[in-house]
Amino acid sequence: MVQQADNDRLKEALGHYQAGRLDKARAVYLAMLKQQPPEVVEAMQMLGIIAYQTQEYERAIGYFQQLIFIKPDWPETYNNLGACFWEQGKIEQALAAYKQALAVKPDYFDAYDNLVLVLKRQGKRLELRETHQQVVPLIRSGAAHEKLAAMLKEEKRYQEASAHYQQALACYEKVISINVNCAEVYYKLAIIMEEYDRRKEAMAYYKKAIAIKPEQVEFYNQLGNCYQRWGNLAEAIACHQKAIALKPDFADAYNNLGLALQEQLKLQEAIDHYRHAIALKPDQAETHVSLGTCLLSLQDLSQGFVEYEWRWRLKAQPPTPEQILGKPLWDGSPLAGKTILLRTEQGHGDAIQFVRYAPLVAQRGAGKVILETYPVLRRLLTTVSGVQEVVVKGEPLPAFDLQVPLMSLPRILNTTIETIPARIPYLYAEEKDAAVPGALPRPSGQEHAEGAVKYSELLRTARHPDGIVKVGIVWSPSDKAPKKRFCPVSLFLELSQIPGVSLYSLQKEHTDILDGAPIQDLKELLHDFADTAAVISQLDLVISVDTAVPHLAGALGKPVWVLLPFSPDWRWLLDRSDSPWYPTMRLFRQAKPGDWQTVFAQVKAALTAHPGVRAGEREQRIPKHER
């Protein structure tokens, strides 16, 4: 048993450690080991943790392995050893260490959490499922249920995630019924309330936690994040600043303060805070990516895309390309007849925007260019110049020598604002779909045969006399998109009142609100992006919020107006109404957050002045016998 003097020294060392005085903590622990090496295992554990945090991984491994020899039934040591191996890239050794931690303590959730991360990064889905089935029945704590729920949510297993959130909630509420002054539990309850979009309850719980422990910086940090998610940026900034005042080396607070300032378009201030966070925590991938998006918004494409490469280290990202396919990444050097695989990533709009680089890759001497993409894009992307074969994600891949993600190509090819490849069109509607003059395209594929009668009706109603401007509209992105991109369809309805304008919905979801509206719903024609391209090819204009559709219209070389929130995605830059990515695109920006009214006032004025609309009005005014 450790004597009182040793207890005092352990407390002294722990105090140094918690205050960030790692050298002093290390000195105290080493002194203890010299006096009582076999007994003072706490000192050895902490020396290993300090070595890990100072990135001295070999030294940390030495401490943990010695400790395992002395105390082989301590699961935390195996977990810490696994973390060291992971940082060194020794994946199999990390897996073995985490599994040993679970062998010692089957319900040790931290080891399970780390094991899941490694298995996900390795793409070992079967082993991941087996591990999950073994460990989940043993979970008892609220924190474990909460973590598991978050992981299940990432995997889109929403029903299972909800069940574990409910179990976590029950565990936490039981603790509160016994101890009403447990700040950490109020904090956990707040996090769960946010998962259920119960904003007021979440904020109330955060504030209760702060009232009990006003010195706890993480409480302010998370309350700030909560304010930011609900658009209260001033309060968010105040919370993050309070956290920094309490702990000036709190990297996460600097990162989150940067995010709030970025939403206010104070980009240089945001950049300063991101760089401060990186100085404190150099390997924080989220901060590097956020810094990258700021730099890209400010047209610094060279440095912005370098920082954006950190996306592969984000927790929510799939494994890196090398981990999945084991083939080297292309670095831009001459291809000399080699076969290269271009891989789409992220959303459909990203794929459409960056597939423009395929011809440039082919020009580097590729023997063959293969493009891997999503099923709904396959038919459309067969029209890209320079691509010899298009395959769908998940299908067997043909042989290839090199690979590259599409969104890494701007960095590899040294793209600047002035050198963006903007020749349009670089995508095309299939000729057979666009062959009916003056009409919208036919549905493609045999599976649409049953809808032939309905299609004929749509075709008849789609024919208009000369002078009518046909406008395709999109008011809602996918449900996963940021809420700030959503626009009320009622504002689009006002456009239908402009003489000489006919509106067509290009939405595939949320179209039930169109019943009785003067907008033609074309969702039955839109089975993939090739269908959408064929429709757009016969429209005069597309007006859309930030979704994949404006990317498609721009890539087809069609006129397109994009309606942007106050703080737009990086690719739309700032303070300009055009886009260097798409020459036929016009941008309409909110003057303040949530202000769609001003945007639509500008859109209505521009549409009223559209040459086609004005020509239509003139034709309508000229009596027939004067023509």
Q: List, for residues 10-22, the tens digit of each pLDDT value.
A: 677 777 777 778 8
- Please check whether residues 329 and 390 belong to one and the same domain: yes
Q: Is residue 202 in a domain?
A: no
Between strands 501-505 and 368-373, the pairing is: unpaired
Alpha carbon 388 to its chain's center? 30
Q: How far apart, in whole angstroms, are the C-alpha atoms of residue 623 and residue 627?
A: 7
pLDDT value of residue 440: 45
Average pLDDT over residues 519-524: 90
- Please check whether residues 381 and 504 belong to one and the same domain: no
Q: Is residue 346 in a domain?
A: yes
The pLDDT tens digits of the residues spanning 419-452 come to: 999 999 999 997 644 433 344 444 444 444 333 3
Percent of the chain with pLDDT over 90: 56
Residue 523 exposure: Cα atoms within 13 Å on the Cβ side? 10
Please, are residues 117 and 315 in contact by the beta-carbon 8 Å criterion?
yes
Helix 251-263 × helix 233-246 angle, to 10°: 160
What is the enclosing helix (H) or strand (E) of 34? helix 22-35
Residue 34 exposure: Cα atoms within 13 Å on the Cβ side? 6
Q: How far apart, in whole angstroms, are the C-alpha atoms of residue 49 and residue 65?
A: 13
Average pLDDT over residues 33-41: 58
Q: Range with the lowest mean pLDDT among 400-404, 460-464, 490-494?
A: 460-464
CA distance readout (Å), 456 to 66, 332, 443, 507: 78, 50, 10, 20
The pLDDT tens digits of the residues spanning 176-194 come to: 777 778 888 888 888 888 8
Would the pLDDT of 396 be above 70?
yes
Give the 3-state secondary structure of residue 208.
Answer: helix
Q: How far apart, in whole angstroms, are the C-alpha atoms of residue 298 and residue 513?
A: 38
- Please check whether residues 414 and 461 belong to one and the same domain: no
Q: How far apart, in whole angstroms, are the C-alpha atoms of residue 564 and residue 579?
A: 12
Q: Is residue 435 in a domain?
A: no
- Please check whether residues 508 and 593 belong to one and the same domain: yes
Please, are residues 365 and 334 in contact by the beta-carbon 8 Å criterion?
yes
Average pLDDT, the chain: 85
Final residue belonging to a domain, choices 402, 419, 436: 419
Percent of the chain with pLDDT over 70: 82
Between strands 560-564 and 582-589, the pairing is: parallel
**What CATH number is given to the structural domain containing 328?**
3.40.50
Total domains in the fold of the chain: 3
Q: Is residue 55 in a domain?
A: yes
Average pLDDT over residues 100-120: 84
Which structure tokens are listed for 339? Answer: 């076969």
Q: Is residue 342 in a domain?
A: yes
pLDDT value of residue 437: 34
Q: Range with the lowest mean pLDDT among 191-195, 281-285, 364-368?
A: 191-195
Q: How confident is the model at residue 354 (pLDDT cuts 50, 70, 90)?
A: very high
pLDDT value of residue 435: 36
Residue with tokens 């954006």: 308
Q: Which of 10-19, 121-130, 427-436, 519-528 has the highest mean pLDDT?
A: 519-528
**248-255: which pairs have CB atoms within 8 A and are 24 or more residues apart?**
249/20, 249/280, 250/217, 250/221, 250/280, 251/277, 251/278, 251/280, 251/281, 251/284, 251/287, 252/221, 252/277, 252/281, 252/284, 253/217, 253/220, 253/221, 253/224, 254/280, 255/284, 255/286, 255/287, 255/290
Final residue belonging to a domain, choices 72, 88, 120: 72
- Please check whether residues 495 and 396 belong to one and the same domain: no
Q: Torsion over CA of 606, 607, 611 and 616, rounded to 10 degrees?
A: -150
Q: Which residues, including other chains, have CB under 8 Å from residue 315's CB and lie 6 or more apart?
A: 117, 285
Residue 195 exposure: Cα atoms within 13 Å on the Cβ side? 23
Q: How confident is the model at residue 235 (pLDDT cuts 50, 70, 90)?
A: very high
pTM of the model: 0.75
- Please check whether residues 558 and 615 belong to one and the same domain: yes
Domain range enclosing 39 = 1-72
- Please check whether residues 414 and 450 belong to one and the same domain: no
Would the pLDDT of 57 be above 50?
yes
Please, are residues 243 and 217 in contact by the beta-carbon 8 Å criterion?
yes
pLDDT value of residue 456: 37
pLDDT value of residue 83: 93
pLDDT: which is higher, 223 or 625: 223
Question: 15-46 b/e with 16+ CB inside 10 Å = b?
Answer: ebbeeeebeebbebbeebbeeeeeebbbbbbb
My answer on whether omega of the bond before 425 falls inside 30° of 0, hence cis, is yes
- Please check whether residues 461 and 600 belong to one and the same domain: yes
pLDDT value of residue 280: 96
Nearest to 558 by CA among 571, 543, 569: 543
Q: How confident is the model at residue 23 (pLDDT cuts 50, 70, 90)?
A: confident
- Please check whether residues 599 and 510 belong to one and the same domain: yes
Q: Which residues, including other chains, have CB under 8 Å from residue 24's CB and lie 6 or more apart?
A: 13, 16
Final residue belonging to a domain, choices 54, 72, 90: 72
- Please check whether residues 396 and 507 belong to one and the same domain: no
pLDDT: which is higher, 362 or 33: 362
Q: Is residue 91 in a domain?
A: no
Which structure tokens are listed for 484? Answer: 């700030």
Q: Torsion over CA of 271, 273, 277 and 280, rounded to 10 degrees?
A: 120
Q: Is residue 564 in a domain?
A: yes
Q: How confident is the model at residue 622 (pLDDT cuts 50, 70, 90)?
A: very low
**What CATH number is given to the structural domain containing 461?**
3.40.50.2000
pLDDT value of residue 627: 35
Please, are residues 484 and 593 in contact by the beta-carbon 8 Å criterion?
yes
Q: How far apart, in whole angstroms, are the C-alpha atoms of residue 490 and residue 61?
A: 62
> What length does the chain have?
627
pLDDT value of residue 444: 42
Q: Is residue 191 in a domain?
A: no
Would the pLDDT of 107 be above 80?
no
DSSP per residue, 162-199: HHHHHHHHHHHHHHHHH-TT-HHHHHHHHHHHHHTT-H
- Please check whether residues 455 and 587 belong to one and the same domain: yes
Please, are residues 77 and 68 in contact by the beta-carbon 8 Å criterion?
yes
pLDDT: which is higher, 542 or 196: 542
- Please check whether residues 554 and 494 belong to one and the same domain: yes
Would the pLDDT of 257 be above 60?
yes
Query: Which ranges of 105-157 would DSSP assign to H, the alpha helix?
Result: 109-122, 125-135, 142-154
Would the pLDDT of 36 be above 60?
no
